[in-house]
Structure 1
Amino acid sequence: MANWSDIRNLAEQLKRVQAAESANCLSDRICVDIVSYLINSGRLQIYRTNDGRTLLTKTELFKEIIEELDAHRGRISLLELADNLEVEHAVVEFHVHEMLSNLQDFYDEQCVLIAGELITKSYIRRIAEEIRDRLEFRGVMTVTDFARSYNLTPQFLLSIINDYNGTLFQIQQDGDRLCTQVFISNQKAKVYGYLSAVVTPISVADCAAKLDIPQKVFTVIIESLISGGKIKGSLIAGKNVFIPTCYQRSQDKYIDDFLKQNGYIEWTIVQRIGIPDPSSYLRQRFPSAIHTKEFTINESVVSQIKSVLEDKSPDTHWIDVSSYLPQVFGAQEREWLIKPLIKNSDYVPVDGYMYLYPAIRLAEHVSCFDDYIREQATAAALDRKKRVGGKVSGGSAAKNEESITRAVDRNKAKTGGVGSRAREIKTKNVKKKYLKKNADIEEDDNQSNINVDSYLPRENLLSLLSAAVGAKAPEDLVECLLDQLLPQIYESFLSLVKSVFLQTADSSKNRDRCLAEKDSLVSTILSIQLLERGSLAVDDVNLRTQLIRQLLRSEVSTFVNRLYLLFAQNYDIEWPKQTKEGEEISPSEITIQLRDSLASIASKMADGSVKEAASLLQQINACLRANAEISDSNGLPLDEVFFLSDDLASCHLGINLSMSLLRTGASKRKREDRLLALEIANQTEEQMVAAARSDDDNYLASVTLAGTALFAQCIAGCPVPVHGKLVPQIAAWITKKLAKPSSNSAPYASAINLLRERKACDKLNRLTEIVMLEAKHHGGESGVSEEEKRSLVDELVTVASGCIKALQSGSPTPTA
C-alpha cells in the first residue's frame, strides 16, 4: 500500500514532466485527425460537439441529458436539448430512446417521449394537479382549453385525466367538456327545478340548450332524478323526449274515456295527442280489445254483436250491423270485425257487411220468383221459336251432323298404354260442336241473344222480393239481396227457356245426332274386342285377369263415357260440368264418380224413360268398378257391359249397335280384324320409333311399353292392352312363351322366330330392369351408361321393324 511519501514523489515527477519541453509538438489539426481515426475505427466512443472543440463520452452525454431534464423541471423538447448540448439532433434522439429503453440504469424516475418532448412522471402529476385546481375553480372546461394551455395533444391530456380520475379528482366527461361533481350537483339542482314545472312533453335537446348543460350530462342527470324518484316522468324516443307522469296520466284518461264513451278509438287520434306508436300502446293497454289497422274497438261492441247473432228469435230476419258499429267504419273494417263472428253461423254478409241475413232464408227467397220466371221463360221460348223457326233446314242439319261424326271418329292412343286404335276418342269439344252447329242454332240464340232484362225487369223482381223479405226491410237491403240472387234467377230462367224450347222443338234431331255416332261406336267395339281376344290368349290366369281389368278401366270406360255423353245430350242433362278453364271434359277423363252422378241425376228426373235409363246406368257403373267380378265362363268377360250398353243405346239413344252380331260374328270378319290388328301394330311401332328418337327423360319407359305391346301381339295373335305397371309381368310371360318350342302353324310364326333369333326378350328384360332402377331412384342414375341404353333401344327398334314386316306377310287366325 502506497504511503504519503510515495505520493509526493509521484507529484514531483509529474511536475517535472510537465515543465520539460517536448521533443515533438502536434498541431491541433493532427490531434483532430487522430481522434477522428480512433472514432471511425471503433477504438473510441465519443461524440463531438457542433463546434468541434469539445468531445463527449456516452456516459457524459447521458448525464448531461438528465441534468437538462432536471433543469427544465421534467419537460424538455429534443430540439431544445440538442441546442443546449450542442450535439446533433439525431444523436440526442438516439440516446434518448436508448435511455428510455433502460431507464432504471440512468434515471430514478419514469419518463415518456410525447410529440418530440421528454416528460417525466412528476411533471405529468403536476399537470393533473393543475387540471384539478382549475376545474375546481371554474367547474367546467374543455380538453381543447387544456391542450392550448399546456401545448399538449388532447389525446395525451385525456389519457392523463383517465389515469387520475377517481384518485386525484372526480370528473365527468361529455365529449370535449369536463365537469366536476360540484358542477354536476349544481346543474342537477337546475334541472330538478326546471323539470318540476314541466307539464307537457319537452325535447331533451331544447331543455339542455336552455339550461346551458351538455346533452349527455343532462340525460344522465334526468335518469338519475327519475330513478331516484325526485321527478315523475319518463324518457322516450331514444331518450330524446321527456314526458311528465301527469301528462301520461291525462293521455291515458282521455283514451280510456273516449273508448268507453264511443266503443272505439282511431289510431290517428292517439297519434295527435302525442303517442308515436299507437299500435303497441293500445295493444298493451287494452289486450282484450279488437285491434284493426286503424281502430281499436271495445270488446263490449263485439259482445253486443255476438249476442244478436246468438239470438234465435223468429222475429230476427236480418241484422243491421251499422247500428252496432261506429259510423266511421268502412266496409273493410266491418268485414275484418264481422267475418270471424259469422264464420260458424247461418248469416251471410250483405252490402259490404252493412247487413247480415240468414242464408237459409235467402235461399228460400228464390222460390218466390218461380211462377214469374216460368211464365216469362215460356214467353221467351215462344218468341225465340218464332224468330228462329225458318233459319235452318233439315238437309243442312243432317249435313252438319255427318261432319261432326267424321270429326269424332278420329282416334288417339291413351297415355300410359299402347296397342289400341280406340284408346281415346278426341271429343274434347264435341258438345260445343253440337251446340254450335246449325242443327242446334236455336239453343245458341236462346242463351246468347235473349235480353234477360226485358223479360225479367228489375222493378218486378224487387217488388216480389220485397214482399217476401218484409215491408219493414230497408230498400238498400232488398236491392243487395236481389243482386246476390240474380245469378240464380238468370240461370233458372235460361234453363227453363231451353227446356221449354226443346220440348216444343223437333225431337227427331237428337235421334239423328246419335245415329251419326253409330259407325264410330261400332269401330270402337271392334277394337275393344281385339284387345279382349289378345288378353284371353294369355295363358297366365292372374295376368289375364289384370289385362281384362285394365281394358275395363281404359278402352271400355271411354266407350261407355261416350254413350253417357250422348245420353245426357239426348235428354238435355247438364252433365258433366265444365272445367274452370271453360273446356268440357273428354270421354277418357270422366271418372266413376261422374258416372255415378249421372245415374243419380237421371233417377231424380220426372221423365219416366229417363228413370228407366237410370237403372241401366247403375248396372253399367257396377260392371266398371275396380272390384267388379270378371267371369271367365258363360261367354266372354265383357259380354255383360256390352249388352247393357246395347240396351242403353237402342232404347234411349235410338242407336242399334247389333251387339249380338258383333260379339258372335268374329269368324265372318277375319280379314277386317286382321287389317285392324295390323293397323294397331303399325301405330305401336310408330310410337316406339318416336319415343326412341325423342329427348324426353322417360323415353326408355315409352320404348319398353311399346316394345312389350308389339311383342305380346306377335305371340298372342291380337293386340294386348298393355299398361306400364304390367310391363314386367308381360315381359316375363313373353320370355316364358319364347322359351317353349312353337309350331309353324302358330299365329305370326315368322315374327316369333325373329324374336327368338334376335334374343329380343333378353334385351326387353334388360331395358325393363333399367327402367325399374331409374324409377326406384326417382329418375336418378341407374348405373348403366347411356351408350348401353341407346344400343338396347336401337336393337329393339330394329326387331320391331322386322316384326311389322313379318306381321304384314303372315296370315294369322286370331285366337277366339
Structure 2
Amino acid sequence: MASSDWIEVQRLAAEFQRAQLSSALQKLSERNCIEIVSKLIDLKLIDVFYTNDGKEYITLEQLSREICDELYLHGGRISLTDLVPILNISYHAIESRAQNISQTKPEIHLVSGQLIDDDHLDHIAEEINENLQQTGQITVVELTKQYELPMEFILQQIRKRLGTIIQGQQDKYDHHVFFTEGFLARNRARIRGALSAITVPTSVSAIIAQNKLPERLFFAVADELISTKRIQASLSGGRQANVATFIPDVHSRSQNEWIDNFLKQNGYLEYAALTRLGLGDPKSFCRKRFRETSLLYLSSCCVGSYILQQIEAAVEEALVSQSWVEVLPLLPSVFDEEDAEQIIQHVLKNSQNLPGKDALVIGHSAVTSNAYVQNLRLIFKPMIEEKASEVVASGDYLQALADQRNAKEKSFKPEQSNEKKDRKDERRKKANEGKLGGGTQGRETKTRATKKKYQKGKNDSDDEGEEEFVGGSSSASTELQFMSLDKISNVLRKQESLSDAPDEFVEDIAQRLYPSLQSSFQEAARLAFEAVLSATSGQRRQTHSELQNKVQLLLQNIKQGEKAIQFFASLDIQQQLSRHLLKTAGSELVNELVSYVSQDTNVANDSKDLSLEARQKIINGLPQNIRVPLQGLHKASQGSIIEEFLSEADVALTACDVVLRKADKKKDKTIPIQQRHVLIEQLNAAQDAALVLHVAVLLLFHTVTQTVLNASGRFVPYIISFLQSHLPQSIGELLSELQGLVIQELTSKGDEELLETVRQKMENLIPRVRETAVAYKKSIAITQE
C-alpha cells in the first residue's frame, strides 16, 4: 500500500475515533459505519471478511490464527465444515484461508476438506505400527476405511515414516501391502514346508486355502524357492491362484514317461487323457515335448506316423480298385468324425503315392474316387431314356417349356409389365379423348421390342419361331425332375458294392449324382422331343408361318381402321366404328390365335369360325400361362377401345410364341395399292345397289384418306356426310342421289309401281357410281393432324 494511501487510512481512522468519542450529535450511525467499511472494501483499501450474521468483520490474518487455534484444540485434525459454525464465517472464506495455511505451513495438510497437522499423522503412524506388529501385515485399503483418508495420501505418509515410526517393509509386488520381517519369515517357512510335501500337481488355490497362506506372498516366495532350486518344481497358469498349478518335478518325470510310452504303444495321444494327468494346455505341452517328432495335431488328439501310414494304405487301395473305404472304423475309438476328416485331408495332401486329384471325400470319413462315382451313373442310363420318352409322349415336357418361359418373363421383365399397364391406361385415355395418331406409333415400337426379345441372334425367316421354341427347350426342361434324391438313394442301395455302405454315404453320393443325372435327363428329353417334333416339323412350320402372316395382316388392317376412324369428328361415331372393327377383324385375330394354341395343347377344336361361347370354352381349357393373356384379348375384342385391344394383343402374341416380322417399308408402300384393288374388285362384282353404294363410299374414303375403313352398311350415311366436304359437288350429289334411292327402295316395299321406278333409276346410276369411284383420284390426300 502506498504511503499516501496509508496516511489517508490513518486520517480516516482518527476521524472515526473522534466521532465515536464525541457527543451524540457528532457520532456516526451504524449504517454510516457499514457504508464507510463497504466503500473501503470496494476501493480495496482494506481486506476483511463478514461474519455470517453480518455484525462483525474479521481480517485474513485473524481468521488464519483462529483456524490454527481450532486445529490445535481438536487434536490436529478438523473438518472445514466444522469450522463454519465455530468461527461464524462462510465456508468459502474458511476454505481459501485453509489453502493458504497448507501452502505456507508444511506441517499442516489440507486433505479431502480436512486440516491435518504432522502431529496427528505421527499419532496415526504409531497406531498403524502397533497394528502391523500385532497382525504381521496391513493393507492401505484397510487403513483408508479406518482413517477415512485418501489411499495415496496414506501411502505417502507411511512411506515417509517407514523405518522410523513404522517398523516394516513394503511388498515389492503389491505396493499397497506392508508386512514385518517376522511375518515374512514365518510365511516363507510355511510355504516352503507346504510345497516340499506336495508330490502331485496341485492347484495353488487349494494350497493357499488349506494352509491359510497369504496369496500376495505365496507367488513371490514360491518363485524364490524354485529359482534357488530349494524346491524342485514349476508353476504353470500365471500368477492367479484360481488358475495356477504347482507341479513337482518328480511328478513331471513320471508323467513324461507315461506319455512317451503311451504314444509309442498306441500311436496317438488324447488331449482329454493329458488333461486328467493335470496338464492345463495339452496341445502346447505336446508341441514342446515332441518337438523333434512328426505328429499331426487334431482337435481332440495328436497322431503319430504309424496310424497315418495305415490310413494312407487303406485310401490308396480304395482309389486303385475304384471302390470306397470308411476311415473312421480303422481309427481308435477316441477319434471322432472331425478327426477322421482332418487325417484324410492330411494324407491326401502330403502323400506322394495317392492320386489326390481323383480322390473324393464323402461325408466326414469316407473316401472314394471320382471314377467310381461316374461309373455309378451308367446304372441310370436306361432309366433316363425311358423317363425322357414318357414325359415327351405325355406332353409334360411341352408344358414344362411353357411354364419355364412364363416364369422367365416374370423374373426378367417386371418393369416391362408395369410399362405395358401404363401404356394400356394411356391408350385408353387417348381413345376416350379422341386424339389422333398416337396408337400406331406406340404399336410399331412395341412390335420391335418383342422382336428383339425372342429373335435375338436369329435370321428373319419363317422358321424363326420354331427355332426359338426348340432351342430354348434345354433350359425350359429344368422344371421336369428325373428322379428324387430318395429314389436315387434306393437305386444305389441295391448295388452290391454299396450294400454295406452307411446311409449318409449313399445319400451323399445321390446328391453328387443328382445334378449330372438331371442334366442328362434334360438332354435326353430334348433329343426325344426333337425326334418327335422332326416328324411334324414341316407341317408345324407351315402352320406357324401362315399364322404369322394372317396375324400380321389383321393387325395392319386394325391399325389402318384405327387411323380411318379418327377422321370422324363425332366421338359417338368413332366408338361405334371401333366396336365394329374389333367385332370383325379383332374377333378374327382372336379366333386365329385360339385355334392355333388349341391344336398345340390338344384342346378340342374343329373350326376356326368360332362363336363367342365356343371361343370362351376353348380358352378356359388352355394352360394358365396362355389362358390369362387370351382371356384378356377376348374381353378386349368385345369392347370399343382399340388401344386396349392392341395392348392385350401384344401380351397374347408373346404368350403364344407368335413373333411378328419386322416391318418392310417397301411392302408397306404397296399395301394401299393392294387395298384399293381389293375394293375395286368388290365394287365390280357387286350387283345390289346398296352394296355398290357401300363399296363405292369405302373406295372413295380410301382415295381421300389413304386408309381403309372397316364399316358396315349402316355407317354409309356418316361416310357420305364426311366425304361431302372432300369431293367435288357432282360426286357428292351422285352419292346422295343413290343413297336416297336405296332408302326409298327399302321404304316402298308395298308399292310395286314406285318400286319399279326406283330400281330403274338405280340401274342407271350404278354404272356412273362405279366409274366415278374407280376413276376419282386426289393429288393430295387428307392427313391426320
Instruction: Identify whether the pair has TM-score above 0.5, normalized to the shorter chain.
Output: no
Higher share of residues assigned helix: 2
- Length-normalised TM-score, structure 1: 0.40
- Length-normalised TM-score, structure 2: 0.42
